[in-house]
Amino acid sequence: MSILIRGGTIVNHDHSRRGDVLIDGETIVALGGKLDAPKGAEIIDAGGCYVMPGGVDPHTHMELMFMGMVTADDFEWGTKAALSGGTTMIVDFCIPAPGASMLAAYQDWRRKAEKAAGDYGFHMAVTSWSRKIWEEMETVTKTYGINTFKHFMAYKGALMVNDDELYNSFLRCAELGAMPLVHAENGDVVFRLQEQLIAKGVTGPEGHAYSRPPEVEGEATNRAIMIADMAGTPLYVVHTSCRQSHEAIKRAREAGKRVFGEPLIQFLVLDEDEYRNKNWDHAARRVMSPPFRPKEHQDSLWAGLQSGSLQVVATDHCAFTTEQKRTGAKDFTKIPNGTGGLEDRMPVLWAAGVNTGRLTKEEFVAATSANPARILNIFPKKGVIAVGSDADVVVWDPKATKTITARKQVSRIDYNVFEGFKCTGLPMVTLNRGRIAWREGDLRAKKGGGKYIERPAFPAVHVANSTYKELTAPRAVEREVTP
Ligand code: URP
Ligand code: ZN
Ligand code: ZN
């Protein structure tokens, strides 16, 4: 089956030009000024539209069991939501319970992801340290096509790892050609701040933000960068939310360290005032970690995207319902952390970034597609409109408008943190490997139509004396969150 996308402007991260895009099966087979349509080809008229690579969201949590609850969007509805907003691939976090096998967790995630309607890959989380984990990391990298390992520096007593674990794991990443990712918040300090706030009677969602100030993120980001440097590995800092963390990343890059930063679309347009909303549900729905920040941090994040010191925009889509959030009605530390955004990432970034002149349309493509694909080592299969690339294409109508509302969303949660946000610039058609997944409000993607995308290892770094090392101290037992 052939599809010819005719008369649009092709926008990649490095240049734009008028041209047609010819797709055969799952692949882009020709680009050109005026291409002839093969017999029987379906024609998509892209006049007045931009033709861009499908979005890659590098950070999602589908059907994740976290803080005793399972997120409402599974791989089917999460990827359908993604496709309706122009995102054709997600990279989800495979998270074994501390002490559990990575290989078993991988099988579990593959099973859950069979329902996916769009393409997906995985990161693996390192939630404990042992000889078994050290050995399994090799299979994960070499056999399962996962080249990134996430480390939680927060969620004490649950997923959090300490510096000893970080350093050992980062060394292992270096020798396997994998890249460590960090959730950078100082979990020990967060734990004490939570205790202090609860003791003072601060139990509402605003306590969540007060217990996780920018300093805990700045400190952890800086620490992770230094540990990665000592282990000789690059580093990717997930959900970068504040100036302190951005500045640590920027400093590291200026010193020649290979460090990447990932602001979320939520952090770019929403701020800490959301937690002071008089309506408890409104505030609790926005509880995630790190939290939304005072407005002035947004300027730093935008500047990072503009100057290149921050590279990608993600969502951390981890969709808990209002009912699930109410578990923390009397204690903010019990509110499950996470919120939605997958179908809104590209329209909101276009409206707040391109329409305001902060980002060019090429920079938009870099942040939403090309950079995640390059950093995660799936470029040029994903992230670019080029001959031979997967036919993941968004026909973007810069004049189309909508006001975001939960009533009309694809995601299964009962609210939207961007409720009322006005977007100009929307996907008219989304194609995933040559199949039309979304066309002008018509969701055509099918459960099970997504494909697992392997991400090969990077060139490995020689690590002297790379043998398994036992930890030097036992793990703490106090808990920030329920595992
Ligand atoms: O609050 C968040 N971010 N929930 C998802 C888990 C994580 O830390 O990424
Ligand atoms: Zn995290
Ligand atoms: Zn996350």
pLDDT in tens, the chain (483 residues): 899 999 999 999 999 999 999 999 999 999 999 999 999 999 999 999 999 999 999 999 999 999 999 999 999 999 999 999 999 999 999 999 999 999 999 999 999 999 999 999 999 999 999 999 999 999 999 999 999 999 999 999 999 999 999 999 999 999 999 999 999 999 999 999 999 999 999 999 999 999 999 999 999 999 999 999 999 999 999 999 999 999 999 999 999 999 999 999 999 999 999 999 999 999 999 999 999 999 999 999 999 999 999 999 999 999 999 999 999 999 999 999 999 999 999 999 999 999 999 999 999 999 999 999 999 999 999 999 999 999 999 999 999 999 999 999 999 999 999 999 999 999 999 999 999 999 999 999 999 999 999 999 998 777 765 789 888 876 655 677 766
Q: Is the CB of 165 under 6 A from ligand 1?
A: no
Residue 93 CA: nearest ligand 1 atom is 9
DSSP class of 390: B
If you search the block for the tokens 């559990």, which residue do you land on?
A: 100
Q: What is the pLDDT of residue 401?
A: 98
Q: Is the CB of 78 under 6 A from ligand 1?
A: no
- In degrees, rounded to 5, the angle at the alpha carbon of residue 98 between the alpha carbons of residues 58 and 118 is 25
For residue 481, which ligand has an atom nearest its CA?
1
Closest CA to 316 of 282, 265, 364: 265
DSSP track, 279-295: SHHHHHHT--SSPP--T
- Centre a 10 Å sphere on the Cβ of residue 41 and count the other Cβ atoms it contains: 17
Distance CA 122, CA 184 (A): 20
183: left (phi over 0), alpha (psi -120 to 50) or beta: beta
For 63-69, which contacts have Cβ atoms below 8 Å and span 24 or more sequence positions? Answer: 63/112, 64/93, 64/95, 64/318, 64/338, 66/95, 66/318, 66/336, 66/337, 66/338, 67/334, 67/336, 67/337, 67/481, 67/482, 68/327, 68/336, 68/482, 69/320, 69/324, 69/327, 69/336
Asked whether the CA dihedral 287, 250, 306, 85 is positive or negative, the reply is: negative
**Partners of 2 in the beta sheet?**
24
Q: 88: Cβ below 6 Å to ligand 1?
A: no
Tell me, what's the pLDDT at 474?
64
Separation of CA 232 from chain center: 24
Burial class for 164, CB neighbours closer than 10 Å (0-12, 13-18, 19+): middle
Is any atom of ligand 1 closer than 6 Å to the C-beta of 61? yes
State whether the beta carbon of 316 lies less than 6 angstroms from ligand 1: yes
368 CB-side CA count, 13 A: 33
Residue pair 146/157 in contact (Cβ under 8 Å)? The answer is no
* Any atom of ligand 1 within 6 Å of the Cβ of 288: yes
Strand partners for 4: 22, 43
pTM: 0.97
Record the tokens describing residue 223, joined without a space.
């620490």
Which amino acid type is present at position 17? Answer: R
Ligand whose nearest atom lies closest to the CA of 286: 1
- Tell me what pLDDT residue 473 has: 72
Q: How far apart are CA 428 and CA 46, in angstroms?
A: 9
Ligand positioned closest to the Cα atom of 319: 1
The pLDDT value given to residue 399: 98
Backbone CA torsion sign across 77, 81, 86, 92: negative
Protein residue closest via CA to atom 5 of ligand 1: 338
- Ligand 1 closest atom vs CA 155: 8
Please report the pLDDT score of residue 94 as a whole number: 98
Give the pairing of strands 393-403 and 2-11.
unpaired
Report the pLDDT value the prediction gives residue 109, as an integer from 0 to 100.
Answer: 98
Closest-CA residue, ligand 1 atom 8, reads: 289
Q: How far is CA 246 from CA 40, 262, 263, in A?
A: 51, 9, 9
Give the 3-state secondary structure of residue 195: helix
Taking the CA of 289 as reference, the closest ligand is 1
Q: In terms of DSSP H, where are the helices of 387-473?
A: none
Hey, what long-range contacts does 171-175 have (CB within 8 A, 24 or more apart)? 171/231, 171/232, 171/233, 171/463, 171/466, 172/134, 172/137, 172/466, 173/137, 173/149, 173/231, 173/233, 174/231, 174/232, 174/233, 174/460, 174/461, 174/463, 175/460, 175/461, 175/462, 175/463, 175/466
Residue 319 Cα to ligand 1 midpoint, Å, equals: 10
291 lines ligand 1 (CB under 6 A): no
289 in contact with ligand 1, CB cutoff 6 A: yes
Q: Which amino acid is at 377?
A: N
Which mutation among 92, 150, 211, 337 tests ligand 1's pocket best, with the greatest number of atoms within 8 A of CB?
337
To test ligand 1's pocket by mutation, which of 265, 289, 332, 334 has the most ligand atoms within 8 angstroms of CB? 289
Residue 168 has which token pair? Answer: 């050992």
